[in-house]
Amino acid sequence: MPNSLSLAFTTTALVALAAPVFAQDKTGSNLTTSGEGAAGAAATLSMGYELYAIGTEAKDPVTVLAAAKLVASAEVEAKTPAALEGAAVAGAAEAAEELTLDGFAATRKAADAAPEAPAALASDAERPAAVASFKTGLNEEEGDAEAPATAAQMFAKAAELAGDDAALQEIIEDAQAETSRGRIGGGVSWLSKLNSGKIDIWEVPFYGNSYAEVAVVGDGDANLDVIITDANGNVICYDTSPSDQVYCDFVPAWDGYFYVAVENAGRKRNSYYLMTN
């Protein structure tokens, strides 16, 4: 499936799942330049995994060690997503089969049926995230990894690449011994195993005027393309580079849902993390 067609479907599916306008005027893009925040665990992990991909490709133990230290410095709580269900999901599945490029521009903002913002957005209760998968997989070929590498696996890889360099091995050991100090918390992650050709659509709520982070971190087995929209179908971020590492940060103008579509554009399964702050 051509990349442009995949992106066209993805954005349309996101809109099919999009929330209606709320009581006040929320018809525009859910972005603002106000709000404060600092890059957190999702940004740190995203950078760490990018470095790890570079370091393993170059067989450079120093770069891999830097990646391991970054990943070890971030504390992320693993969660299980809810199933994204309802009529809007069925509509998106139908759109996946019928969408054409000609109809893309006309349909991307046309949907007006989806759940309203949950009460959790107005309280300190846990904010839920939900996911649904679309499209028929191109094949069932499994990837080499079951999940992105852990910090421990990265340290082990750095030691492997360091070989007989005793000084570097000592540095690696010292760095690993210090991983529990000063960790950056506040992140949440969900694991998905996405077969070739399939698309996950995630529904994730964020608070208005608060810094939001979204990172997609793949296991290196296949390319992942990503589009993020607000509930009105406005594109916030998208990435179609030949990579499975994506990071996006923004500040919503109001409490609401955002939709993250992740497409496996490769030939093998990719087991990836979706991470937010």
Compute CA distances 73 → 160, 182, 207, 212, 222, whole Å: 21, 7, 26, 20, 26
In this prediction, residue 24 carries a pLDDT of 54
Would you state the pLDDT for residue 223? 92
- Report pLDDT for 107: 42
Instruction: Give the model's pLDDT for residue 22.
Output: 43
Task: Specify the 3-state DSSP secondary structure of 221.
Answer: coil
Q: What's residue 244's pLDDT?
A: 93
Q: How far is CA 14 from CA 8, 11, 136, 224, in A?
A: 10, 5, 18, 17
What is the pLDDT at residue 36? 63
Residue ranges per structural domain of the chain: 3-276
Query: Would you say 68 and 49 are in contact if contact means Cβ atoms under 8 Å apart?
Result: no
pLDDT one-digit tens code per residue, 176-225: 888 756 566 678 899 999 999 888 888 888 888 888 999 999 999 999 98
Contact between 53 and 245 under an 8 Å Cβ cutoff? The reply is: yes
So what's the pLDDT on residue 50?
93
List the one residue out of 162, 201, 147, 183 whose CA is nearest residue 71.
183
Instruction: List the chain residues with pLDDT less than 70.
Output: 1-25, 33-37, 86-127, 180-185
Phi, psi of 50 (to 5 degrees): -65, -45
- What Rg do the C-alpha atoms of the chain give, in angstroms? 20
The topology under which CATH files domain 3-276 is Jelly Rolls (2.60.120)
Which pTM does this prediction carry? 0.79
Tell me, what's the pLDDT at 104?
A: 29
